[in-house]
Structure 1
Amino acid sequence: LMGRREALRAVHFPKDGEELKRARYRLAFSELYLIQCGLLLIKKQSQQTRLGIRHQPNGKLVKAVLSGLPFTLTHDQQQAWQEIYRDMERTVPMRRLVQGDVGSGKTVIAMLALVKTVASGWQGAMMAPTEILAAQHYENLSAKLAPLGIRVGYLSGHLTPRERREMHEAIARHEVDIVIGTHALIQDDVHFARLGLVITDEQHRFGIAQRAALEKKGAHVPDVLVMTATPIPRTMTLTVYGDLDVSLIRELPPGRQPIRTFVRRPDRRPLIYQYVRSQIEAGRQAYVVCPLIEMNEESDLPSAEEVYDELRYGIFRGIPCGLVHGKLAPAEKERVMQDFYADKIKLLVSTTVIEVGVNVPNASIMVIEHAERFGLAQLHQLRGRIGRGSYASYCILVSEGKTENARERLRIMATVSDGFKLAEEDLRLRGPGQFFGSMQHGLPDLKIARVPEDIAILLEAHKAAEATLTSQGDLDFIRPILVLQYKERFQHIMEN
């Protein structure tokens, strides 16, 4: 590699194209190499310097849960489960990411892992990003596991001080086997008696530091399982989740209805909403998603508030409608979502707050206003809110599609339903900056390297970082550089 000083000069004042290329390679390589060293060091420290928990082989309890499922696991689910339980049976702490498309059945795998830790005499914790998602996980797991004698607890910011105190005491005394909760799980006053497994759902909503805080809740190093429904191209998982092993679930479980997606111009809105009303009258529920919360002087787009008023006083008069957006007080947002979940609200007007969300099998239709304002990954996440029951489901993208890029994006959305293919297309259309930015909470920003264009450099850097970590001398040399370069970004690498 060219020297650093020489590369910095050459990248600004190159003698020729060849020198510029070599200089850029040198700088991009060192940037990616340092990030890979940081991520691999996190992995090495959790796996090698601290002894993990060795879970027992799958016994009666796990078999009882598997045989009680109303369906057979898909091939991908079986593969992911096999990778997880083998990890859990080793003394090296598990650090695994389960990446599955919307509705691919990751929760079942999480449940099996939680049951396995309980069967081995440990406690499990599962952290979800929203109250409503945590509550839903709690209801589902309680219904399935309570009959087997497994005690499931719930912890959130909405509990009264007394309820919270009682739950904290139950967790500390091992009177609860599995705790489902929100960020409340990582508060200082939560102490587990025997924490054996930590699961975080929708990982991109939590930074590395939050994940680490939950891992430190027990006296032993727990196994860690991370789940995300945000498909990331395979080559990028190295950069975003370089400290984790990856399991993929691509198949959808049998019985899931395909979602038919249509692109329509705004002049078709009366017909679209007439159709939505007929679906609601047939017993279904519907979402309407808008890009803005309230009126905005710089934009002529109708806001969620305006659309809500227009619909409930207009074509949906007499039908229970609800409005949910990020500026609502959490308790109000929770109440509206709960009413929609309970079928008291038939039409929910929303911003993207429903992107990570509730499972409402009865919701079979979604209208996305000004769909050109959303990226492909976000549209796919939104669309994943429907098609969860046994009813035919429809997603209608309303857009004028003025630019070629917007038209292309919506055309792809209407024809491709595989989230992994969409992620590749999203990367191609939007460029890595935006895509990468939304994925890497807690990771350092890239200044010169470009993913995915620099994938070849990334793979070289990954190999070099692996070699560095096998040599104590190289590791001692690189550690202070990581501290200088990234400071608190990789702070918890340095804590041990």
Structure 2
Amino acid sequence: MTNDTPDWIRLHKALAIEAEHGFIDLMGKQYRFSEFLSLTFGKFPVAIPAIERRRWQELATKFASYPNLEVKDRQTLITTTRRYLDQLQKQQEDPEEIEKQGSRGAGEQGRIYKSKVPKATPVVNEVSRRLAPKIDQKLSDLPEIGIRKADKLAALHLYTVRDLLFYYPRDHIDYARQVNIRELQAGETVTIVASVKRCNCFTSPKNQKLSILELVLKDNTGQIKVGRFSAGARFTSRGWQESMKRRYPVGSVVAACGLVKESKYGLTLDNPELEVLANPGDTIESLTIGRVVPIYALTEGVMANMVRQAVTAVLPAATALKDPLPKGLREKYNLMELKDAIANIHFPTDSDTLQSARRRLVFDEFFYLQLGLLQRQQQAKAIQTSAILAPKGQLIEKFYEILPFQLTGAQQRVLNDILNDLQKTTPMNRLVQGDVGSGKTVVAVVAILAAIQSGYQGALMAPTEVLAEQHYRKLVSWFNLLHLPVELLTGSTKTAKRREIHALLETGQLPLLVGTHALIQDPVNFHRLGLVVIDEQHRFGVKQRALLQQKGEQPHVLTMTATPIPRTLALTIHGDLDVSQIDELPPGRQKIQTTALTSQQRSHAYDLIRREVAQGRQTYVVLPLVEESEKLDLRSAVEEHQKLQESVFADFQVGLLHGRMSSAEKDEAITKFRDNQTQILVSTTVVEVGVDVPNATVMLIENAERFGLSQLHQLRGRVGRGAAQSYCLLMSSSRNPDAQQRLKVLEQSQDGFFISEMDMRFRGPGEVLGTRQSGVPDFTLASLVEDEEVLLLARQAAEKVIEIDVTLERWYLMKEELKYRYDRLMGGAILT
């Protein structure tokens, strides 16, 4: 061996031969085994980093006394030495640590080595607090991590010990189950321990930048061929490939773990993790093999093992964590202590322990969110400066007289909730949920009239001009009969008209203003704003909603949505609101017949449209995009309109509506359709809300698989608004089973709350609302779909805590943790 680098193969071979012969201190050609090892470890190769030299010298001393040791002590020394050399060799030959890898024996001076990986136990049981790092200590200050690794971990926003402790794995893989080769079954994740029968490492003939390590492993039940793939020019050097062969010599014992899958050679392990063992029964030191393995979110330049090793370095600090949750609360809800939960979320002892750890940490995510929302709600209720609005009066009585229908029981119940709120000096902050066509607008009008008859003004904000226009038309028809003025303010309003509206508002002559974002973007000044109504409120950002509220002095706020929100999602984003549901449709509404069709059944859809239009009724045809997309092979509204008008429905008038049209063009298209001048309206999703044509009975949705269930339900709600039977046709060319299953939900249910629940299960909470809003917290572990039970318990616990002490002064640690989580995890985004 040279004085540049250890001759790994001679060292491994000498140790293996001595073990095979029963630890008898074999005599070689020149030296006894113990003499050879003592001489080898007595020299410091240049390539050995300084931090390892003390351990290297200790081994020289131990092997010098090898002849005087008992057999069991000799066995222990050889086992620990082989494991140490394997670990050290991996550190030195890790391509990530080598600036440039040459051929065998070249470029050794250019290597950069890692510091020694700590032999921390993956599961922390009892660790001396004296040796544990401090919670607020910088990662760069820890010798096991250092400045260079800390810089890389910073790309994951990990700077301190606390950051790393609370950087939860996004998943776990259970490699804890060890099996024999003959017991392998495709689809399982397992660990096997076997000897190397054959080893080869070579460059792929199909890809010159891909290196393949092939091992044939055997145990007493069979054999298996496995391969590891390493992409990059550095891996294809002869030197690196030869080092792999030396690491896994024939006859060495290897632990391998991975996913079992079928290959052309039979069963194999998919790109397995490997560790060389001294003997089949040895303890596995790997942070992966034979364990429940944490899977972390990574980024470029940050490898999985780097994060795992960094976590093991800081995990002892978990023992010093003070639990913010009182012992009584933990016992009541059967929660693991925080320090144990942190240790076991990273490296659990088994799957059951992992579930207990996850449950505690999920509870924390929900608990502090609910605590913050409830605290905010209580603080809002402490304000006593809002206007008291009269629930009875001539305006409301007259409105009931001109209504051509009776309010449903659900409408009356929700209205009572609202009118009770308006009689308090605490500002109302209520959300009204109701399915499409349930009559939310009528309820809002009564609330607006309560404000007007009490001498205050009202504002109604909608997310689109189409919806704002629809509200304005309906309100004008009612307010004219009540001799009340109402105006519309949108981005299309002319300058002269804007000035007129501004002036009327400031003097108080205009009691109600309907509009879009223009209500907050314009220099709009209300004389005496008493009530704010926000429709489809989830389409507005947090700041936009707050800006409208600031147009008055603590006005009452009523928000509405026709997108039914699942209970868990409502608690999460509206936990500080009072929620009312209109869960009853007006009498006489017929069930909309919904059918999912394939492109081969298109003729059936066209036949139905012809039949309905021939009877004087109308049809929507909805498409996702305005122009063709190369990525998404979708029909464009423009081309579809041309095709339908010229060839399919040449006998009828076909209109066109899409988001890129000017406001005047949109108004013209909607007016023609409303007046039945066009019988078929080809449109993008701008018709999702705001277009109300009771004569329309058919809704044909192209590429229905591209829409969310809640959005499809909204679109379906554009028909079925009259007395005639209506139809919704979901056209899809997708053969994906999941897509077909989603459309079946629409076929089988008309319940918007059930549909939104299913939508959340299919696509996640952020998409249920039609757009990803900052108001939906980005939980690390918690799932609104899977963890409903934990969320409800966390809400219950938070309510009890707030009931006892809204300031949290008696629970200092809890108060500090709440502040930390709001500042760092929520970022204030949960404001409503």
- Alignment partner, residue 140 of structure 1: 474
The count of residues paired between Structure 1 and Structure 2 equals 491
Provide the secondary structure at the position in 2 that maps to 1:489.
Answer: coil
- Alignment partner, residue 806 of structure 2: 471
With the length of structure 2 as denominator, give the TM-score of the two structures.
Answer: 0.56
- 1:291 to 2:624 alignment: yes
Whichever of the two has the greater Rg, that structure is: 2
How far the C-alpha of 1:148 sits from its partner, in A, is 2.0
Output the amino acid matched with 1:233: P
2:425 to 76, 83, 91: 91
- 1:352 to 2:692 alignment: no
Output the amino acid matched with 2:729: I
Measured against aligned partners, the alpha-carbon deviations of 1:236-273 in whole angstroms (never above 9, x if no partner) come to 31112112111111111013233111222222223422
Q: 1:361 to 1:133 in 2, by over 3 A?
A: same
Report 1:209-224 matches (<5 A): 209-218=543-552, 220-224=553-557
Contact 2:414 2:580 in 1 (8 A): yes
Report 1:292-441 matches (<5 A): 292-432=625-765, 434-435=767-768, 438=771, 440-441=773-774
Provide the secondary structure at the position in 1 that maps to 2:776.
Answer: coil
Provide the secondary structure at the position in 2 that maps to 1:144.
Answer: helix
d(CA) in 2 for partners of 1:468, 1:437: 34
d(CA) in 1 for partners of 2:806, 2:380: 18
Report 1:181-220 matches (<5 A): 181-187=515-521, 189-218=523-552, 220=553
- Alignment partner, residue 64 of structure 2: none
How far the C-alpha of 1:464 sits from its partner, in A, is 3.5
- Alignment partner, residue 489 of structure 2: 155
Measured against aligned partners, the alpha-carbon deviations of 1:71-99 in whole angstroms (never above 9, x if no partner) come to 11111011111111111112221111110
d(CA) in 1 for partners of 2:665, 2:391: 45
Q: 1:145 to 1:273 in 2, by over 3 A?
A: same
d(CA) in 2 for partners of 1:479, 1:468: 16
Which runs of no fewer than 5 residues in structure 1 stay unpaired? none
How far the C-alpha of 1:204 sits from its partner, in A, is 1.7
Contact 1:202 1:356 in 2 (8 A): no
- Alignment partner, residue 439 of structure 2: 105
How far the C-alpha of 1:147 sits from its partner, in A, is 2.6
Provide the secondary structure at the position in 2 that maps to 1:49.
Answer: coil
Contact 2:489 2:518 in 1 (8 A): yes
Output the amino acid matched with 2:427: P
Output the amino acid matched with 2:519: L
With the length of structure 1 as denominator, give the TM-score of the two structures.
Answer: 0.92
Contact 1:204 1:439 in 2 (8 A): no
d(CA) in 2 for partners of 1:259, 1:232: 21
Output the amino acid matched with 1:300: D
1:228 to 551, 558, 561: 561
Q: 1:302 to 1:155 in 2, by over 3 A?
A: closer
Measured against aligned partners, the alpha-carbon deviations of 1:8-37 in whole angstroms (never above 9, x if no partner) come to 443221122233223222322222223223
How far the C-alpha of 1:228 sits from its partner, in A, is 0.6
- Alignment partner, residue 455 of structure 1: 788
Provide the secondary structure at the position in 2 that maps to 1:139.
Answer: helix
Q: 1:437 to 1:346 in 2, by over 3 A?
A: closer
- Alignment partner, residue 145 of structure 2: none
- Greater shift, 200-209 or 169-178, is seen at 200-209
Contact 2:711 2:770 in 1 (8 A): no
Provide the secondary structure at the position in 1 that maps to 2:610.
Answer: helix
Contact 1:324 1:351 in 2 (8 A): yes
Provide the secondary structure at the position in 2 that maps to 1:165.
Answer: helix
d(CA) in 1 for partners of 2:798, 2:371: 5
Which runs of no fewer than 5 residues in structure 2 stay unpaired? 1-334
Q: CA RMSD in A?
A: 2.4
Provide the secondary structure at the position in 1 that maps to 2:458.
Answer: strand
d(CA) in 1 for partners of 2:660, 2:354: 48
Q: 1:76 to 1:114 in 2, by over 3 A?
A: same
Provide the secondary structure at the position in 1 that maps to 2:532.
Answer: strand
d(CA) in 2 for partners of 1:208, 1:13: 38
Provide the secondary structure at the position in 1 that maps to 2:531.
Answer: strand
How far the C-alpha of 1:417 sits from its partner, in A, is 1.3
- Alignment partner, residue 98 of structure 2: none
d(CA) in 2 for partners of 1:61, 1:326: 38
Provide the secondary structure at the position in 1 that maps to 2:382.
Answer: helix
Measured against aligned partners, the alpha-carbon deviations of 1:36-82 in whole angstroms (never above 9, x if no partner) come to 23333442333213522211231222122113211111110111111
Contact 2:362 2:790 in 1 (8 A): yes
Report 1:39-118 matches (<5 A): 39-118=373-452
d(CA) in 1 for partners of 2:491, 2:669: 17
Output the amino acid matched with 1:462: R
- Greater shift, 205-214 or 406-415, is seen at 406-415
Q: 1:433 to 1:65 in 2, by over 3 A?
A: closer
d(CA) in 2 for partners of 1:256, 1:32: 39
Q: 1:429 to 1:247 in 2, by over 3 A?
A: same
- Greater shift, 479-488 or 361-370, is seen at 479-488
Q: 1:31 to 1:172 in 2, by over 3 A?
A: same
Identity value in percent:
46
- 1:278 to 2:611 alignment: yes
- Greater shift, 333-342 or 26-35, is seen at 333-342
How far the C-alpha of 1:325 sits from its partner, in A, is 2.9
Contact 2:766 2:773 in 1 (8 A): no
d(CA) in 2 for partners of 1:481, 1:428: 26
Measured against aligned partners, the alpha-carbon deviations of 1:173-202 in whole angstroms (never above 9, x if no partner) come to 100111111111112511111111111111
Contact 2:623 2:701 in 1 (8 A): yes
Higher RCO (CA-CA < 8 Å; seq separation 6+) = 1
Contact 1:291 1:370 in 2 (8 A): yes
How far the C-alpha of 1:6 sits from its partner, in A, is 5.3
Q: 1:216 to 1:480 in 2, by over 3 A?
A: farther
d(CA) in 2 for partners of 1:434, 1:190: 33
- Greater shift, 359-368 or 53-62, is seen at 53-62
Q: 1:366 to 1:436 in 2, by over 3 A?
A: closer
d(CA) in 2 for partners of 1:445, 1:50: 33
- 1:486 to 2:820 alignment: no
How far the C-alpha of 1:480 sits from its partner, in A, is 5.6
Output the amino acid matched with 1:103: G
- 1:126 to 2:460 alignment: yes
How far the C-alpha of 1:455 sits from its partner, in A, is 1.4
Provide the secondary structure at the position in 1 that maps to 2:829.
Answer: helix
More helix as a share of residues = 1
Q: 1:436 to 1:386 in 2, by over 3 A?
A: closer
How far the C-alpha of 1:422 sits from its partner, in A, is 1.9
d(CA) in 1 for partners of 2:485, 2:616: 36
Contact 1:274 1:315 in 2 (8 A): no
- Alignment partner, residue 259 of structure 1: 592
- Greater shift, 181-190 or 78-87, is seen at 181-190
- 1:34 to 2:368 alignment: yes
d(CA) in 2 for partners of 1:446, 1:145: 46
Provide the secondary structure at the position in 1 that maps to 2:655.
Answer: strand
d(CA) in 1 for partners of 2:422, 2:781: 39
Provide the secondary structure at the position in 2 that maps to 1:465.
Answer: helix
d(CA) in 2 for partners of 1:424, 1:188: 38
Q: 1:19 to 1:327 in 2, by over 3 A?
A: farther
Q: 1:9 to 1:129 in 2, by over 3 A?
A: same
Q: 1:248 to 1:97 in 2, by over 3 A?
A: same
d(CA) in 2 for partners of 1:337, 1:38: 44
Provide the secondary structure at the position in 1 that maps to 2:596.
Answer: strand
